[in-house]
Structure 1
Amino acid sequence: MRLLAALSLPLLLAACGLQPMYGGGGSGAVARGLGAVDVPAIEGRAGWLVRDALRQELGQGADGVGSGAAYRLDVLLDEQLQGLGVLTNETVGRERYILRARYQLIELGTGTILLDATAGSDAGIDVVSSEYATIAAEQTAQENLARELADQIANRLALTLRDR
């Protein structure tokens, strides 16, 4: 009975339309497509962090794609630091760091916009009496949010390129 169940499981999965995203590994169509995405410089420290994280998510080296690019990813960031939790002495006790991105995937050969979407995330930061600790927490939040944004964008790019 167990053998029958184990043998029928792949057939059931195939019937539901489930397909591997990265079929073929690093030489598959999605992986090759992600590797052919050029990510131009993004303004600011957060932009540098997002671009670096995107290159890692897309499987590119430190030099990026270079001349083999088939696509360009234009990213525009919006970052905000909001003070929350005003204490009785009129100081802020908590902050909210928000990082949002609007991005477009453009096919270089035709100039066609294949994807126009947004991604975003936010983090809460405790404001403590040490200014150094608060600044360090803000920078850590920025780094974590940049990785989160890059992950969201890379997943959406992979879905878009898989459907092509």
Structure 2
Amino acid sequence: MAVSASAPIAAGTRIGHVHLKVADIDRALDFYCDVLGFELVQKLGNQAAFISAGGYHHHIGLNTWESAGGQPPPPGTTGLYHLAILYPTRADLADALKRLIAHGIPLDGASDHGVSEALYLRDPDDNGVELYCDRPQDQWPRNKDGSLGMFTRRLDLEDLLRQAKS
């Protein structure tokens, strides 16, 4: 029996992990583990590493199989726009911002989208990274017809930092 192309994907489907091509495993681990706080699960020499939050087998895979010593793709080419890391609470996102500040990592932007608050930055291989937290669904902005009313406004970073736990 064929499944209709218009049938929606199962509601419980999630993105399990992302694999990134990087130029240098140790440099990537310094960023994702030391700066962002992911935990190293497994490292395969200088070819690959698997990192996670909370003991999962891996949320992010890093590899140099096709990219050791390589350069980021030039602007105007296809590829990954950014990977998005969802934090469970606003306080956790605030802690992530404190980590970025402590390590001197600049932001490309910071936005309030109504449904979420997000920080945008680049990893050492120039991959886009979004760090964000969702608002509860009952607080999401809606248009008069009931459809989602997302927007992009400046995120108040000082207010976010006041939410930090540590």
Name the TM-score, length of structure 1 as normaliser: 0.23
Larger radius of gyration: 1
Larger proportion of helix: 1
Name the TM-score, length of structure 2 as normaliser: 0.23
